[in-house]
Structure 1
């Protein structure tokens, strides 16, 4: 059985075809899902998914969804609403996120850092792990978290860096989210990094409907492709498939322990 530790099942691709996807998930033994939010517009939808026992959820503001809040001059108000909603629903949450930093977007890094640090403090207050989006910003993620010492700090999802970057994140106590990137032969540095990481830091994800996997790029990504990502992981690692599967399930459950 499988745990997709990062998938956006509230997005339209799934919401409009829920029964068909439900069957696909069952057919491929995808038993549990973590669904992060991306901003105020989907906080309520994500919380609604928590009613299903196989779904765990997080609240946050994704860096790529900051710009509309800046344009409307409501970023601080939205962060305050996030704080209030998270406190109100803390028994339903398994993490704070998706949050983090992204070099590609046209949002000043100072603004991204401010929003990220707000969410770090919220996670500390609620003693929840962070689900972190990091694109070409691993150094700033590390700097933002290097003074944090509690267990289960969180996960850097959809990791696509090299071994040195991964090791610096692991040293903070973070887990590494492994997804479709490792199915692409061109991602050699990331594949080499994942091959060398300690097994106890690895969790699997699809980031569905994004982060396509090789051979299926014409389709929306979906949790039912998770076994294909696992099959690539088996090729990269020295452990047997059964040991990998058991340990990754354990890592995932421990990451989202409530």
Structure 2
């Protein structure tokens, strides 16, 4: 396992396991398999409606809590200072934990203009020791700038859609400048279109790896935190088996050319679902 060090000194596994779109009852065996394979970072959210399932897998595991890194998120309908504090307590209860390692704002939803107050609630949770680190998801540069100007704690992580067709280089440069780690959701791209690109399949053939393994390896070398999702045991294993090879500079240069700024998810400023 490779770790990154967040801006507050906390170590976080660079490769984690995501459970977006995994039903609650399927989350338990999927997370159990991920832990068995070697994953130590699990990423969930209130809106995924599977925190209970994740919690069941964690409770059944004999891995010491301090070796695990658990992330969850506050949903749009729970934003605002007091609402966020209540939402956090409810998430903690569903997960069956005393604390979470990383708590994130799921979307900025700028139309409702609550994300600064929400983030101030995250700062309280952090200062009270209920979370080890705080951050955001899907924040553009202007949203991050506002937090940097109006809040005290620099976000540790900005989790955004990122894959070879959406490499987020400008946002990534801003995050790096402010010591914020970029974490990639949908790292293999929803629909998997990029997995069939000739560059990706060619590199996969060269290393006797799968296209998915090549893209996960690209994320690691691109210095992203990455959280692939699967409920298929063989895929969960395959996605973790990426530490025994390395892409060359030439491979990375070829991968860089794939960027199309092509999103599959919403543009953050347009996301206003409660």
Band of TM-score, shorter chain: 0.5 to 0.7
**Using a 3 Å threshold, how does the CA distance of structure 1 residues 130 and 35 change in structure 2: closer, same or farther?**
same
**Using a 3 Å threshold, how does the CA distance of structure 1 residues 90 and 18 change in structure 2: closer, same or farther?**
closer
**1:116, CA displacement in angstroms?**
4.0
1:34 aligned partner: 42
Alignment partners' CA distance in 2, 1:162 and 1:225: 26
1:134 equivalenced with 2:134 (yes/no): no
Aligned pairs for 1:157-176 (under 5 A) are: 157-160=159-162, 162-176=168-182
Pick one of 79, 83, 99 that aligns with 2:84.
Answer: 79
- Report if the CA contact (8 A) 2:120-2:151 is conserved: no
Give the gaps of 5 or more residues in structure 1: 187-193, 211-218, 239-258
Alignment partners' CA distance in 2, 1:43 and 1:195: 29
**Using a 3 Å threshold, how does the CA distance of structure 1 residues 60 and 170 change in structure 2: closer, same or farther?**
same
1:213 aligned partner: none
Aligned CA RMSD, in angstroms, stands at: 5.0
Aligned length: 205
Normalised by the size of structure 2, how large is the TM-score?
A: 0.51
1:5 aligned partner: 16
1:95 aligned partner: 102
**1:166, CA displacement in angstroms?**
0.6
**Using a 3 Å threshold, how does the CA distance of structure 1 residues 173 and 224 change in structure 2: closer, same or farther?**
same
1:204 aligned partner: 226
**Using a 3 Å threshold, how does the CA distance of structure 1 residues 195 and 86 change in structure 2: closer, same or farther?**
closer
**Using a 3 Å threshold, how does the CA distance of structure 1 residues 237 and 163 change in structure 2: closer, same or farther?**
same
- Report if the CA contact (8 A) 1:10-1:46 is conserved: no
3-state DSSP of counterpart to 1:173: coil
1:61 equivalenced with 2:83 (yes/no): no
- Report if the CA contact (8 A) 1:40-1:78 is conserved: no
2:188 aligned partner: 180
**Using a 3 Å threshold, how does the CA distance of structure 1 residues 11 and 171 change in structure 2: closer, same or farther?**
same
